[in-house]
Chain A
Amino acid sequence: NAGVMQNPRHLVRRRGQEARLRCSPMKGHSHVYWYRQLPEEGLKFMVYLQKENIIDESGMPKERFSAEFPKEGPSILRIQQVVRGDSAAYFCASSQGAETSGANVLTFGAGSRLTVL
């Protein structure tokens, strides 16, 4: 049973380009979360999605960032017109259900590390 799969693992972009990060949740998981880890900091919540729905995007920057979790295929975190401050590790996590419980503990992927030149 594969875990949470993220790709690419490493991505280099120049300022002004677009970055697309993909996340396939664990089999049987329909709840996806994106977290961002800036250098020397802990993870910060960005967005919570269920299939075809954004449930909570309170941690997303208001501009340039968007996320989706389509009916088919992986969840995508998209960053348009990247700037140097977007350089970070972006982690995807999934859970089986919504409520925080022993059955719904988050499983994290290995992360996608974005470097903006």
Chain B
Amino acid sequence: AQSVTQPDIHITVSEGASLELRCNYSYGATPYLFWYVQSPGQGLQLLLKYFSGDTLVQGIKGFEAEFKRSQSSFNLRKPSVHWSDAAEYFCAVGPGGYNKLIFGAGTRLAVHP
């Protein structure tokens, strides 16, 4: 069955520290991969996406993610976290065709000053 797993429900980091949010997927073929961020009471904003090509993708707000086919992973990273990065982060996969995305349960990020 197709699924997305985000193993960390909550993560707390200090401002200025590096960040890595994990995402593993189960899918029969190479999927399209996305990271979205959701601030409290807001909709989802696309951070970055992977469709093909270079496995290291750059996104907005200084985020990047690396697709590792052998590990079925698409982890999100940021070298230095800002207090404004506190939010919930969702990894999603798409089968191609139309945008019927499968989302992980999310990782809630807290940032300490």
Closest to B91 in A: A42
Is the beta-carbon distance between A106 and B105 smaller than 8 angstroms?
A: no
How far is B4's CA from A101's CA once the two chains are assembled, in angstroms? 20
B4 / chain A contacts, CB cutoff of 8 Å? 42
Counting from the closest, the 3 A-B pairs by CB-CB distance are A42-B103, A108-B43, A110-B43
* Chain B residues with CB below 8 A from A109, complex form: 43
Pairwise interchain contact A106-B101, C-beta atoms closer than 8 A: yes
Count of A-B contacts judged by CB separation below 8 Å: 72
Contact with B along A18-53 (1 / 0, CB 8 A): 000000000000010101000011111100100000
Residue of B90, B92, B101 with highest tally of chain A CB at under 10 A? B101
Q: Which of B43, B44, B98, B101 contacts A99, CB < 8 Å?
A: B98
How far does the alpha carbon of A102 sit from the alpha carbon of B102 in the complex, in Å?
Answer: 17
Indicate if the CB atoms of B103 and A93 lie closer than 8 Å. no
Tell me how far the C-beta of A50 lies from the nearest C-beta in chain B, rounded to whole angstroms.
Answer: 10
Residue of A nearest to B9 (CB): A40
B32 shortest CB reach to chain A, Å: 5
**Contact status B98-A110, CB under 8 Å:** no
Output the nearest chain B residue to A6 by Cβ-Cβ distance. B43
B42 x A110 contact (CB < 8 A)? yes
Complex: A9 Cα to B96 Cα, angstroms: 30
Residue pair A48, B44 in contact (C-beta under 8 Å): no
Q: Give A38 to B46 CA distance when docked, in angstroms.
A: 20
Assess whether A42 is in contact with B105, with CB atoms less than 8 Å apart: yes
Q: Is the CB of A100 within 8 A of B32?
A: yes
Give 14 pairs: A residue, B residue, CB < 8 Å, sorted on A: A33-B99, A35-B101, A42-B4, A42-B92, A43-B90, A43-B101, A43-B103, A45-B100, A45-B102, A100-B98, A105-B34, A106-B101, A108-B44, A108-B45
The verdict on A69 contacting chain B, using a C-beta distance below 8 Å, is no
